[in-house]
Amino acid sequence: MSTLRMRRFLLLAACAMPLLAGAAAAQQPPGAPAYSPTVGQAGKDVVWVPTQQQLVDRMLDMAKVTAQDYVVDLGSGDGRTVITAAQRGARAHGIEFNPDMVALSRRNAEAAGLNGRASFAQADIFQSDFSDATVVTLFLLQTLNERLRPTLLAMKPGTRVVSNTFTMGDWNPDQSFDTGAACASFCRAYLWIIPAQVAGQWQIGEDRLVLEQRYQALTGTLTQGGQSLAISDAKMDGEAITFTAGGRRYTGRLEGGALTGQVEGGAAWRAVKAAG
């Protein structure tokens, strides 16, 4: 970790400690062993700094978490993101390497009456299977996000990934949010929606659609009656596709291996994978 980043952690620690100590004390059941984490304390791959509650709420808003979701927080710290997701009715799970933090999270979840919906595992996120999550939350580092990126991209299209502050390198977010000037550090959240993979050649009746894909971004051509039209403003949003070709806006979805949808103000379209 760079000296600058460490200094930021310690500055945040100094600001957050009184609040944190109060919260931990309030959630400590009588007779339980006192464990009070320190902001900036060492973690396996990254230190512990809690996401501010305002940003936790916003991250779950961005991911549109509902009771139908299974939310997994990778490196779950004191459990606040898992607990907040469970309070929204979702099933939520935290993976945390530090056993003291796991025990603290379990006590916090129990104190919040959420034991049924909030669970925690003491494990390394890089050795864990979270492929059934519908929402993944992160507050790690860009390098760690990039290590997770292939695993995340292999998840079910439409899965939402939200990160506090740290990006995914050259995988641009679908959405970002900044808490504003009053927030001193760790104030941004980013959302990515796992895109369905549609790169290749598609046949739309007699027409041919050629798609190239980089993460959620699409480029390519639609060839109609021998005329090749570049597609623009094209992207995947989970299984939903949008693009413009020849001044017409196409919307559709990948369903059962075919792309089906509507041309704006006009006919339905259906594309199937072209042979060869």
Ligand X SMILES: C[S@@+](CC[C@H](N)C(=O)[O-])C[C@H]1O[C@@H](n2cnc3c(N)ncnc32)[C@H](O)[C@@H]1O
Structure tokens at 63: 């991911």
Q: How far apart are CA 10 and CA 48, in angstroms?
A: 11
Residues 108-167 that bind ligand X (CB under 6 A): 124-126, 139, 164
Among 50, 220, 238, 252, binds ligand X (CB under 6 A): 50
Count of residues of this chain found to bind ligand X when the rule CB under 6 A is applied: 24
CA distances from 202 to 8, 126, 187 (A): 50, 36, 42
Other Cβ atoms within 10 Å of 212 Cβ, number: 14
Q: Considering the complex, state which of residue 130 and residue 269 has its C-beta at the smaller distance from ligand X.
A: 130
- Three-state DSSP class for 126? helix
Among 27, 98, 108, 119, binds ligand X (CB under 6 A): 98
Q: How far apart are CA 251 and CA 244, in angstroms?
A: 9
Stretches 91-99, 174-182, 194-202, 208-216: which one binds ligand X (CB under 6 A)?
A: 91-99
- Decide: is 43 part of the binding site for ligand X (CB under 6 A): yes
String of contacts with ligand X for each residue 162-191, x by CB under 6 A: --x---------------------------
Residues 257/266, Cβ–Cβ less than 8 Å: no
For 79-153, list the strands marked E by DSSP.
Answer: 91-96, 118-122, 135-138
- Decide: is 250 part of the binding site for ligand X (CB under 6 A): no
* 273 residue type, one letter: K
Among 12, 39, 46, 189, binds ligand X (CB under 6 A): 46
Contacts with ligand X by CB under 6 A lie at 43-46, 48-51, 73, 75-77, 80-81, 95-98, 101, 124-126, 139, 164
